[in-house]
C-alpha cells in the first residue's frame, strides 16, 4: 500500500496566447477513487496529461511523493495514464495491432500483470489482432481499460474509459475496477461524461470548469449539501434568500433552482416548496451548464 | 438485498435500510454473516467507502457487530430492535406526511379514519 | 540502468525488424541489377560485392527516413506509456546505431569474402562507409527533430531535403566508384587514408553529433499527441 500523493501546484497551460488551464492546485491522495468531470474543452485531458508528464506545463509543478514528475522515470513508474486513442491518426502508434500495443505496454510498465490482461481480453471479447486505427470506438476503449487495469500502477488515470461501450460492457468495467480496488487499494482517477452511472463509484468528485478547478470534494458530502427547490416563484425566492442559486428554470408561475449550501447554511422548513435531493449529474449541469 | 438504488436518499442510508429490511424478512438471520463491504460495493457498483458507511451506521445502532478478521454479523435481538425503532419512527416517516397531504386536500381527521377503516371491510 | 533495459529491449526488437526489411530491399535491388548485367557474365563474387555496396547506400537512405517515422510512430507510443524523453531518445539512438552497425558488418564480411579487385578497393573505402552511415544518421536525426517539434508541416521540407541528399549520395557514390577503380591514384594520406576519405569520415561523424544534439534539443519538451 502506498502513501504517496500526486500533487499539482499552480499549473498554468498556455497555447500561444490562449490560457487553457488557470492556476490549478490539485492533490490526489492515495487509495481513493476520484471522478473528474467537466464539459468538453474544460481542460480535463490537458490537465491529466500534464499531471502525468506527457505534456509540459507552462507554469507550475507536478510532484509525486515530493519528487517532480517531469522526465523522472522513478516517479513515472508509479503512474499510468490511459488515454483516449484517436481513430483519426492513422500514421503513428495507432497503426499498430492491439496485441503489439499491449506487448509494448507490458515491456514498459514495471508491475504489468499479464494474467489479468489475458483474462480481460477474453472477458471483453477483444480481437487483439486488429489494428488500433481500424477499431471501433468501443474496442479502443477496451484497449485503454485493459492497459490501465493490467498496469497495476499505484496511480492509474483513465481518460474517458467508457466512451463507445455498451451498457453491459460498462457494467463489466465498473465491476472489474471495484474488484481491483478492493484487492490492491490503488488510486484511480476517472474522467467520464457518463456521470450518473459512475457517480456512486467516486469517493471524491473533481469538477473542472473552463480551465479552473471548480470543486474537489467527497461525493457524499457534496450531494448532501445540494438541493433542488421548486414551486411558486415567490416561495422559491423566499426560501433561497441569501443562498447561491444555480441554473434557474422558469415555466409560468413555477420556478426551479439548484442550491449548494455553504457550511452553516440551512434551508428553512417550508411546505409550500418541493425540496429534493440532486443527483451528481444534475448538479453538474446546474453548475457548469449553459445559463438559460 | 438486490433492490435497486434510488436517487431519493443517500446511498449509504439505502444500504443500511436494505440490510435492515432483509433482517426483518428473515433473509438475514441473527448471528449470520452479512456481505462484506467489497461484496456490497461490487453488487451495487458503488465505492466501498460508501458501503462501509452504511454498515457502520448499523454497527453504531447496535444492529450489526464486528468479529475481527472474519466480518460483520447480525446481533442477536436485531430484528426486534429494528421493529421497535421503525415503530417509533412510524409517526415521523408516514403519519406526518399523511396528515400534511390530507390537510392540503381538505380531508378531515374523521374522513381519514373512515378511509383507514375501509380496509377492514 | 534497470528502467533503461525496457528501451533496449523494445528498440532492439524494432531495429531487427527494420534490418530485415533493409536486407530484403538490398537483395531485391541487387537481383534487379544482376538481371540487367547477366549478359556480361558476372561471377558470384562480383554479385556479393555489389550487394554489399548496395546495402550501405540503402542503409544510408533508410537512416535518413527512419528517424522521422520513429518520431511519429514510436516516440508517442513509448512516451504515452510513461517513458522519459531522454531514455526514449537514447533507446532510439541505440536502435538506429544497431541497424547501421549490422549493415556495415554484413557489407564488410561480404567484401572480405568476395576477394575481387572491386571489393578490395571498396575495403579501402571503409572509412567512407562509416562516414556516410554516421552522416546519414545525423541528417535523419535532424529531420526527425524538426518534424517532432514543428509537426507535419515540416514533412514537406523533409521530403525536399531527402531528395537533395539522395542526389548528393548518388553523385558521390558514382564518383567514388571511379576513385576505387583507380585505386593507385593517391594525393595526400592521413593515417594511411586518402585525405578526401579522411575528411568524409570526419564530416560524417561531425554531422552525426550535431544532427542528433539538435534532435534532442528539439524533442526535449514535446507533448504526446496520440
Residues A217 and A198: their CA atoms lie apart, in Å, by 16
**Which residues of chain A make contact with B50, given a CB cutoff of 8 A?**
200, 203, 220
In chain A, % of residues over pLDDT 90: 58
Q: Which of C81, C221, C226 to mutate to test the interface with A (most CBs of A within 10 A)?
A: C81
Q: What is the pLDDT of residue A250?
A: 84
B45 with A174: Cβ contact below 8 A? yes
Cβ-based neighbours of C190, under 8 Å, separated by 6 or more? C198
Q: Does A114 touch chain C (CB under 8 A)?
A: no
Q: Tell whether B45 lies on the interface with A, counting CB pairs under 8 A.
A: yes
pLDDT at residue number A208: 94
Of C77, C85, C225, the CB nearest to A104: C77
In chain B, the largest separation of any two C-alpha atoms, in whole Å, equals: 58
Q: Nearest chain A residue to C72 by CA: give it.
A: A92
Strands of the sheet containing A6-15, edge to edge, are: A18-28, A6-15, A59-64, A67-68
CA gap B54, B71 in Å, rounded: 14
pLDDT surpassing 80 at residue C153: no
CB-side neighbour CA atoms (13 Å) of C164? 8
- Nearest residue of chain C to residue A84 (CA atoms): C226
Q: Using the beta-carbon criterion (under 8 Å), do A174 and B7 form an inter-chain contact?
A: no
Cβ distance A175 to B7 less than 8 Å, yes or no, reads: no
pLDDT of residue C27: 83
| Nearest-CB residue to C226 (from A76, A93, A107) | A93
- Chains touching chain B through at least 3 C-beta pairs below 8 angstroms are A
> How does pLDDT run across A212-252, given as a tens digit for each residue?
999 999 999 999 899 888 888 888 888 888 788 888 888 88
Q: Which residues of A touch B41 (CB under 8 A)?
A: 178, 182
pLDDT band at C79; cut points 50, 70, 90: confident
How many residues are given for chain B? 121
Higher per-residue confidence, A96 vs C119: A96
Please indicate whether, in this complex, the C-beta atoms of A56 and C221 are within 8 angstroms of each other: yes
- The Cβ of residue A64 has, within 10 Å, a number of other Cβ atoms equal to 25
Give the mean pLDDT of chain C: 79
- A77/C81 CB distance under 8 A: no
Residue entry with cell 416517516: B93
Substitution target in B9, B10, B42 with the highest count of A β-carbons within 10 Å is: B42
Chains with at least 3 CB pairs less than 8 angstroms from chain C: A
Cell numbers describing residue A201:
463509484
Q: DSSP assignment of A42-101, as one string?
A: SSHHHHHHHHTTSS--SEEEEEETTEE-TT-HHHHTTEEEE-PPPTT--SSGGGSBHHHH
Q: How far is CA C143 from CA C104, C137, C215, in A?
A: 23, 10, 8
Q: The sheet that has A79-82: what strands, in order across it? A: A79-82, A155-159, A187-191, A33-38, A204-209, A212-218
Which tens digit of pLDDT belongs to each residue from A34-70?
999 999 989 999 999 999 999 999 999 999 999 999 9
- Residue C38's pLDDT is 60
Query: At A270, is the secondary structure helix, strand, or coil?
Result: coil
Any CB–CB contact under 8 A between C152 and chain A?
A: no
What is the rounded distance in angstroms from the CA atom of residue A12 to the CA atom of residue A61? 9
State whether B45 and A224 contact (CB < 8 Å): no
- In angstroms and rounded to an integer, the radius of gyration of the C-alpha atoms of chain C is 19
Q: What is the per-residue pLDDT across B46-87, written as a single tens digit (0 to 9) for each?
A: 999 999 999 999 999 999 999 888 889 999 999 999 999 999
- Contacts with B8 from chain A: Cβ below 8 Å: 276-277
pLDDT tens digits, A258-283 = 888 888 887 776 667 888 889 999 99
* Pairwise CB contact (< 8 Å): A91 & C84: no
Q: Whole-number mean pLDDT of chain B?
A: 88
Is B49 within 8 Å of chain A by CB?
Answer: yes
Query: Percentage of residues in chain A with pLDDT exceeding 70?
Result: 95
Asked if the C-beta of C3 comes within 8 angstroms of chain A's C-beta atoms, the answer is: yes
ipTM of the complex in this document: 0.82
Provide mean pLDDT across the span A142-157.
94
Determine which of A63-72, B109-118, C117-126 has the lowest per-residue pLDDT on average.
Answer: C117-126
A56 at the C interface (CB within 8 A)? yes
Amino acid at each position: 500500500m502506498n502513501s504517496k500523493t500526486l500533487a499539482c501546484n499552480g499549473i498554468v497551460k498556455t497555447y500561444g496566447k490562449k490560457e487553457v488551464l488557470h492556476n490549478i492546485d490539485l492533490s490526489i491522495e492515495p487509495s481513493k477513487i476520484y471522478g473528474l468531470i467537466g464539459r468538453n474543452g474544460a481542460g480535463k485531458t490537458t490537465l491529466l496529461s500534464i499531471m502525468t508528464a506527457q505534456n509540459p506545463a507552462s507554469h507550475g509543478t507536478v510532484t509525486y511523493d515530493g519528487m517532480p514528475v517531469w522526465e523522472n522515470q522513478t516517479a513515472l513508474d508509479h503512474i499510468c495514464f490511459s488515454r483516449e486513442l484517436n481513430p483519426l491518426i492513422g500514421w503513428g502508434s495507432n497503426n499498430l495491432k492491439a496485441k503489439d500495443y499491449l506487448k509494448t505496454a507490458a515491456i514498459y510498465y514495471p508491475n504489468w500483470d499479464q494474467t489479468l490482461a489475458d483474462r480481460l481480453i477474453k472477458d471483453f471479447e477483444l480481437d487483439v489482432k486488429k489494428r488500433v486505427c481500424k477499431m471501433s470506438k468501443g474496442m479502443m476503449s477496451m484497449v485503454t481499460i485493459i492497459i490501465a487495469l493490467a498496469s497495476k500502477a499505484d496511480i492509474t488515470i483513465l481518460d474517458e474509459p467508457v466512451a463507445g461501450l455498451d451498457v453491459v460492457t460498462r457494467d463489466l468495467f465498473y465491476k472489474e475496477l471495484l474488484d481491483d480496488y478492493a484487492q490492491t487499494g490503488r488510486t484511480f482517477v476517472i474522467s467520464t461524461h457518463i456521470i450518473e452511472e459512475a457517480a456512486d463509484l467516486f469517493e471524491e468528485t473533481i469538477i473542472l470548469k473552463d480551465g479552473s478547478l471548480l470543486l474537489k470534494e467527497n461525493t457524499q458530502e457534496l450531494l448532501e449539501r445540494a438541493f433542488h427547490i421548486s414551486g411558486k416563484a415567490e416561495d422559491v425566492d423566499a426560501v433561497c434568500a441569501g443562498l447561491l442559486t444555480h441554473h434557474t428554470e422558469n415555466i409560468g408561475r413555477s420556478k426551479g433552482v439548484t442550491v449548494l449550501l455553504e457550511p452553516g447554511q440551512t434551508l428553512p422548513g417550508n411546505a409550500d416548496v418541493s425540496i429534493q435531493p440532486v443527483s451528481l449529474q444534475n448538479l453538474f449541469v446546474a453548475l457548469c451548464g449553459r445559463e438559460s | 438485498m438486490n433492490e435497486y438504488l434510488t436517487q431519493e436518499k443517500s446511498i449509504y442510508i439505502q444500504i443500511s435500510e436494505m440490510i435492515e429490511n432483509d433482517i426483518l424478512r428473515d433473509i438475514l438471520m441473527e448471528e449470520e454473516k452479512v456481505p462484506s463491504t467489497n461484496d456490497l460495493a461490487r453488487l451495487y457498483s458503488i465505492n466501498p467507502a460508501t458501503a462501509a458507511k452504511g454498515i457502520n451506521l448499523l454497527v453504531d445502532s447496535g444492529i450489526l457487530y464486528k468479529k475481527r478478521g472474519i466480518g460483520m454479523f447480525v446481533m442477536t435481538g436485531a430484528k426486534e430492535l429494528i421493529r421497535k425503532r421503525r415503530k417509533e419512527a412510524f409517526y415521523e416517516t408516514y403519519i406526518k406526511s399523511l396528515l400534511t397531504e390530507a390537510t392540503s386536500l381538505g380531508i378531515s381527521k374523521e374522513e381519514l379514519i373512515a378511509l383507514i377503516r375501509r380496509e377492514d371491510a | 540502468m534497470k528502467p533503461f533495459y525496457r528501451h533496449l529491449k523494445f528498440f532492439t526488437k524494432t531495429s531487427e525488424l527494420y534490418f530485415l526489411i533493409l536486407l530484403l530491399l538490398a537483395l531485391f535491388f541487387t537481383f534487379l541489377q544482376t538481371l540487367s548485367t547477366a549478359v556480361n557474365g558476372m561471377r558470384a563474387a562480383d554479385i556479393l560485392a555489389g550487394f554489399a555496396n548496395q546495402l550501405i547506400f540503402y542503409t544510408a537512405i533508410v537512416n535518413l527516413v527512419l528517424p522521422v517515422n520513429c518520431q511519429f510512430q514510436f516516440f508517442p507510443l513509448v512516451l504515452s506509456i510513461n517513458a522519459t524523453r531522454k531514455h526514449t531518445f537514447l533507446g532510439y539512438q541505440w536502435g538506429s546505431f544497431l541497424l547501421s552497425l549490422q549493415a556495415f558488418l554484413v557489407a564488410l564480411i561480404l567484401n572480405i569474402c568476395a576477394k575481387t579487385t572491386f571489393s578490395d578497393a571498396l575495403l579501402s573505402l571503409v572509412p567512407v562507409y562509416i562516414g556516410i552511415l554516421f552522416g546519414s544518421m545525423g541528417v535523419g536525426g535532424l529531420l526527425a527533430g524538426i518534424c517532432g517539434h514543428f509537426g507535419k508541416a515540416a514533412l514537406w521540407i523533409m521530403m525536399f531535403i531527402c531528395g537533395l541528399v539522395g542526389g548528393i549520395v548518388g553523385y558521390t557514390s558514382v564518383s567514388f566508384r571511379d576513385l576505387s577503380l583507380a585505386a593507385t591514384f593517391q594525393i595526400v594520406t592521413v593515417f594511411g587514408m586518402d585525405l578526401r576519405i579522411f575528411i568524409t569520415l570526419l564530416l560524417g561523424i561531425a554531422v552525426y553529433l550535431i544532427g542528433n544534439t539538435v534532435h534532442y534539443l528539439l524533442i526535449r519538451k514535446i507533448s504526446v499527441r496520440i
